[in-house]
Amino acid sequence: MIQEINRHITGILAERALDWRSCYTNVTLQPPDGRTVVCESSDAGVVDELRIRMGSSAAGGGVRFVVLPADTDALPSGLIAANSVADVRRAPLHTSELVTQIVYGDGVEPLKEHGEWYLVRLDDGYIGWIRSWHLSELSDEKQKSYAERAAHRVAINHAVVHQSPVGDALPVTDLVVGTALIAEDCGRRGWRAVRLPDGREGFIATRSIEKLPVGKRTSRDALSATGLRFLGIPYIWGGTTPMGFDCSGLMQRIYRLNGTLIPRDADQQALFGRERPPGDADDIATGDLIFFGKSTQQITHVGMVLSEGLFLHAYGQVRVGSMDPSSHLYEAQLVADWRITRDVVSYLK
């Protein structure tokens, strides 16, 4: 029975262009008797289609279908990241693959609780597991209220919130670029009092923060400037912050800091934006995303165009490469594997 169900699920996901990143599925035997098969999914459409395909074989009551979050689960009404960086893993284990990350204050939708882990959906649609100690409960209403009052964000790659407005004061927490804050005058020059979304308070150097941009369109020059500030940061599989980036996590963070949310992984990003002719270095612009792989169906790497044939990417570390064979930065193997170019900036206008 379980093999039959999993076979159906594989087919349904393929037909709907879904995978584990965007649709959680799990098939288990229900204790204590081990006779009931429980089929869980975060996608109601997948469950409905599975019911149809199972037909009479599920009619005897031996199969229970569950759409997550289940009404019977006592889940928090909302959760936010409560550390500067919170790891999202593929399974509820510290040894499981790091698939992506969120930053302090980012809201997630809880789908399921398993021991000290939560299965969550992120704002880009990604699904994964986060250890409960990285999260704080905060309702959607309170998240919205905080976002309306948070007029500042961290402006440098790494910042520290201190317990008092002096540089050698003990830390409250560290923060990474882009983290939204409520910042107010504290009466001490060079410092602002800040309130964090989980209620913690402290002081931060004024030079570490900036006003949140409001209503600004994504600028090609701004994308380039944002990307170059991350030069030298090491490659980390699943990384999306200045603590460490993978190639697509770097692109998503650059665009996010400039007001645009793009998909998480390179193969997903390769489907987003206006497509340009492939392999033409004369028909690209700053901020375009260029994708590499053995074929258009096997995209494994992404970079962002800078200017004059240069591009930024995370490859061992965040670095600049070139498409020009005469340049000492020439990336011969990558250029040979260049398959797709996407213009996100024009697509958004």
Catalytic residues: 247, 301, 313
Tokens of 14: 């393929």
> How far from 100 is each of 76, 194, 246, 275, 313, CA to CA, in Å?
22, 27, 9, 26, 17
* Local structure of 323: helix, strand or coil: coil
Short-list 5, 76, 63, CA closest to 37: 63
Give the span between the Cα atoms of 104 and 141, in whole angstroms: 17
**Where do runs of H (alpha helix) occur along 34-92?**
44-54
Q: Cα(2)–Cα(245) distance, rounded to whole angstroms?
A: 38
Cis-peptide into 69, omega within 30 deg? yes
Strands 63-67 and 36-41: parallel
Structure tokens at 2: 């379980």
Q: What is the spatial distance between Cα 133 and Cα 144, in angstroms, rounded to a whole number?
A: 22
Phi/psi class of residue 318: alpha, beta or left (left: φ > 0; alpha: ψ in -120 to 50)? beta
